[in-house]
Structure 1
Amino acid sequence: MTKKVLIMTQNFYPVIGSAGNRMKNIFQLLNDKGIETHVLTTEPAYPNKNLYKDDMFWDDPHLNKSSDKIIRVPIKNKKFSNRIFSRLFLYIEIMFRFLHRLWKLKNEKYDYIYVTTPPIFIVFAALLGNLVVKSKIILEVRDLWPDSLIGVKTFDHPIIIKFFRMLERKMYRMANYIVINSKGFEQHIKASLDVNKHSLIYLPNGPRIHEIVKEKSNREEFRVVYTGNLGLAQDIEHLKHVASLLQEHNIRFDVLGYGMKAEEFIHYIEQNQLTNVYMHKPTTRKKSLELIEQCDVAIALLNDNEVFDTVLPGKVIDYMTCRTPIIAGIKGTAAQVIEDNKTGFVFDQDNVRGMVDKVLSLKANPNERKQLADNCTKTVSKYFLWESNIEKIVEIIYE
């Protein structure tokens, strides 16, 4: 008998970023495996709704024809805000809209609801809605919450955080299975659980087979790249410093950035006349990977907060997918992946000059870059390939 799964997520194709791409891959691959999989999501809105008026982002003809399996609920908010209460009202709105839709789906007989957090409110929509739908719950944790709120210093009221932690433990304990995209989450989650009654599955972000770059194209100009979110978790001040130092050495720096701090970064570039910094507008995953492939070294930065020690940013995997060695100002899980697999070099977040010095060293040593690039390809092919890792989810669905 065919198994049936409903994915509940705020981020889904054509939304840019790691989360949207992740949910797209899970949806497509489960359907390819013969598991009837539907998606309950919002209208694309990150970082703002107007972005998706451009047909460029709707670049998957097969998904565009899958309207019978993709349910999109409308939301009123036009763009994301860094104000905590504006975000809170957005998440509550999404929760109630999802609950309303789950009520309409009560006769669909899903075997599993696959729900992803953050935000946590979608999880509670799944847990409450499941009283009607009556499916098993696979909870995916892409970020530790509420720790991430504390980490970006947006909300740290002790009484509210204590209440949120109670909700977090409740969320973990009500799930039948828990999927994590970083091994750094494992210890924290197990501390909140009766481990004997729960299964933790490690399912990292990664490329599809066709996305892996085998050889870089030939070019003369040496280029450095940063892609992804410019938000509260990213180290925007150190990224500004990187840009300034690269300008001093006349090195081209390509930045494909979006998010709450993007305008601040653009203003800094203009104010300081950093003519070697090329800002790129948000674009599709395919074009983003093409940009990374055209560059020789990639930059990754996270704020120096303990909660981010557990994170494995999607951009790190994307850089390796494109055979682009990584210079990172990060700690913890991501640093270990880079160092253990020899795909780049890791520095303290404050050591920006050391990072740029290593960029200069790699510029002068193409043979070292080639060895790092080979390690990148070996690493993503062995540990991060979606076509291989999806079997972990298929296995529990058929269990």
Structure 2
Amino acid sequence: MTRKVLIMTQNFYPVIGSAGNRMKNIFQLLNDKNIETHVLTTEPAYPNKNLYKDDQFWDDDNIAKDEKKIVRVPIKNNHFSNHILSRLFFYVEIMWRFLLKLWKLRKEKYDYIYVSTPPIFIVFAAFVGAFFMKAKVVLEVRDLWPDSLIGVKTFDYPIIIKCFRVLEKRMYNKSDYIVINSLGFEEHILSKLKNKAKKIIYLPNGPRKQEIVCEKERQSQFRVVYTGNLGLAQDVDHLKKMASLFHIHDIRFDVLGYGMKTKEFKEHVENNDLSNVYMHNPTTRKKSLQLIKQSNLSIAFLNDNQVFETVLPGKVIDYMTCQTPIIAGIKGTAAKIIETNKAGFVFDQDNISEMIKKVLELRENPNQLQHLAENCTRTIRENFLWEENIEKLTEIIDR
């Protein structure tokens, strides 16, 4: 008998970033495995709704064929503010609209609801839907919440945080299965579970086979790249310092960034006349990977907060996919993967001078750089291919 799955997620194709691409891959691969999979999501709006009026973002013909399986609900409050109360109202609106849609779908015979967090409010809408549909809930955790909320230092209301922790614990315990995209989350989640034997599945972000770069293009100029969010979790001040030093050392620095701190970074580039820094507008995944492929090295930063030690940023996987070794100011899970697989070098995030020194050293040592690039490809093939890792999810669904 064919299994039927409903994916509930805030971010889905064509939304840029790791979350949207992740949900797209799960949707496509489950359908390829003859598991009938539908999606309940919002209309694309991140980082802004107008971005998706450009046809270039709707570049996957296979998704277009399956559009009948995708329900997109409109959200009135689609302004991405850094004010925490505005964000909470935004998440509550999504939860409410998802609940209304789930009520209309209540007669559908879904076997599983696959729901992605953050935000956690969507999860509780999924529990309501699962009750009416008599479905099991697979909870995907892409971020430890509310710890990440505390980590970006925008919310400091102990009573509300305590309430959020109660909701977090209930969320883990009420779900039937839990999926994580970073092994760093496992210990924290286990500490909240009453049933320590509950199945936790590690399903990391990764590329499809056709996205893996096997051979780099030779460039006339040495290039370093940063792609992804420039927000509260990323250390934009350190990135600004690196941009200035790259300019001094005549190194081209490509930045494809979006998020709350993008304007601040652009102003730094303009005010200091950093002509070697090239800013790129948000674009499709294909074009983003092409930019990374054209680069010799990549940069990754996260704020120095303990909660971010558990995170495995999607950009780290994208860099390795494109054979582009990483210079990182991060700790914990991501640092361990980079160091263990010899895919780059990890530093204390304040040690900008040593990072620059290593970049200059690698610029003069193409053989070492090539060895690191080969390690990137080996790591991806052995651990991060979607076509192989999806079997961990299909196994529990087919059960």
Q: Secondary structure at the match of 1:315?
A: helix
Aligned AA for 1:270? E
Matched with 2:249 is 249
Query: In structure 2, the residue corresponding to 1:68 is in which secondary structure?
Result: helix
Paired residues of 2:190 and 2:196 also in contact (CA < 8 A): no
SS state at 2:201 partner: strand
Q: What's the Cα RMSD here?
A: 0.7
Partner residue in 2 for 1:123:
123
CA–CA distance in structure 2, aligned partners of residues 9 and 167 of structure 1: 18
CA distance in 1 between partners of 2:137 and 2:197 (Å): 13
Structure 2: how far apart are the matches of 1:30 and 1:148?
Answer: 30
Q: Which residue of 1 is the match for residue 322 of structure 2?
A: 322
Partner in structure 2 of residue 205 of structure 1: 205
8 Å contact 1:103–1:133 — kept in the other structure? no
- Structure 2 stretches of 5 or more lacking a match? none
Contact 1:227/1:257 (<8 A) preserved: yes
Q: Tell me, which stretches of 5 or more residues in structure 1 are unaligned?
A: none
Q: CA deviation at 1:310?
A: 0.1
- Alignment correspondent of 1:102: 102
Report the 3-state secondary structure (helix = DSSP H, G, I; strand = E; otherwise coil) of the residue aligned with 1:357.
helix
Alignment of 1:151-300 (within 5 A): 151-300=151-300
Deviations 1:158-193 (A, max 9, x none): 111111000000000000000000000000000000
Show the counterpart of 2:145.
145
Structure 2 match to 1:21: 21
Deviation at 1:19, TM superposition (A): 0.2
**SS of equivalent residue, structure 1 residue 98:** helix
User: What percentage of residue pairs aligned between the two structures are identical?
Assistant: 71
Letter in 1 for 2:298: A
Q: CA offset at residue 232 of structure 1?
A: 0.1
- In the TM superposition, residue 131 of structure 1 has moved relative to its aligned partner by 2.0
Q: Distance in 2 between matches of 1:256 and 1:44?
A: 19
Aligned pairs for 1:82-97 (under 5 A) are: 82-97=82-97
What amino acid sits opposite 2:261 in the alignment? K
What do residues 88-114 of structure 1 show as CA deviations (whole Å, max 9, x unaligned)?
111000000000111111111100000
Contact 2:257 2:281 in 1 (8 A): yes
Residue 132 of structure 1, CA deviation: 1.2
Residue type matched to 1:295 in 2?
Answer: S
Instruction: Please say if residues 113 and 137 of structure 2, whose CA atoms lie closer than 8 Å, have aligned partners that are also in contact.
Output: yes
- Deviation, 1:227, is 0.2
3-state SS of the aligned residue for 1:279? Answer: strand
Contact 1:205–1:317 under 8 Å retained in 2: yes
Supply the distance in 1 between the matched residues of 2:20 and 2:250 (Cα, whole angstroms): 35
Matching of residue 396 in structure 1 with residue 376 in structure 2: no
Tell me how far apart the structure 1 counterparts of residues 277 and 4 of structure 2 sit (CA, whole Å): 48
Letter of the 1:36 counterpart: E
- Give the distance between the partners of 1:108 and 1:131, measured in 2 at CA: 12
Structure-1 separation of matches of 2:360 and 2:111: 54
Q: Which runs of at least 4 in structure 1 moved beyond 4 Å after TM superposition?
A: none
| SS of corresponding position for 1:40 | strand
Distance 2:12 2:134 in 1: 24
What's the secondary structure of 1:13's corresponding residue?
coil
CA apart distance, 1:195: 3.8
Deviation at residue 196 of structure 1 after TM alignment: 3.7
Normalising by structure 1, report the TM-score.
0.99
Question: Match for 2:273: what amino acid?
Answer: Q
Is the contact made by 1:149 and 1:156 (CA closer than 8 Å) also made in structure 2? no
Of the structure 1 ranges 189-198 and 158-167, higher mean CA displacement relative to structure 2 is found in 189-198
What displacement does 1:137 show? 0.3
- Give matches, 1:331-350, under 5 Å: 331-350=331-350
How far does residue 79 in structure 1 lie from its aligned partner after superposition?
2.8
1:358-397, Cα deviation, whole Å (9 max, x unpaired): 1001100000010000000000000000000000000000
Q: Report how far residue 130 of structure 1 moved.
A: 2.0
Task: Write the letter of the residue equivalent to 2:31.
Answer: N
Query: CA deviation digits over 1:175-231, x for unaligned, max 9?
Result: 000000000000000000024441100000000000000000122110000000000
Q: Does structure 2 retain, via aligned residues, the 8 Å contact 1:113–1:137? A: yes
- Aligned amino acid, residue 116 of structure 1: S
1:310 aligns to 2:310 (yes or no): yes
User: Would you say the 8 A contact 1:102–1:133 is kept in 2?
Assistant: no
| Cα distance between partner residues in 1 of 2:336 and 2:156 | 29
Q: Aligned residue pairs: how many?
A: 399
Letter aligned with residue 199 of structure 1 = K
Query: 2:68 is paired with a residue of what secondary structure?
Result: coil
Mark the CA change 1:195 to 1:366 in structure 2 (over 3 Å): closer, same or farther. Answer: farther
Deviation per residue, 1:65-91 (Å, 9 max, x gap): 322100000001243111111111110
1:77 aligned residue: 77
Greater shift, 75-84 or 380-389, is seen at 75-84
- Give SS of 2:41's match: strand
1:33-48 to structure 2, matched below 5 A, reads 33-48=33-48
Per-residue deviation, 1:129: 2.3
CA contact (8 A) 2:169 2:192 kept: yes
Structure 1 distance, partners of 2:133, 2:229, is 35
AA aligned to 2:242 is V
Question: How far apart in 1 are the matches of 2:247 and 2:2?
Answer: 57
Q: Aligned equivalents of 1:78 and 1:393: distance in 2?
A: 32
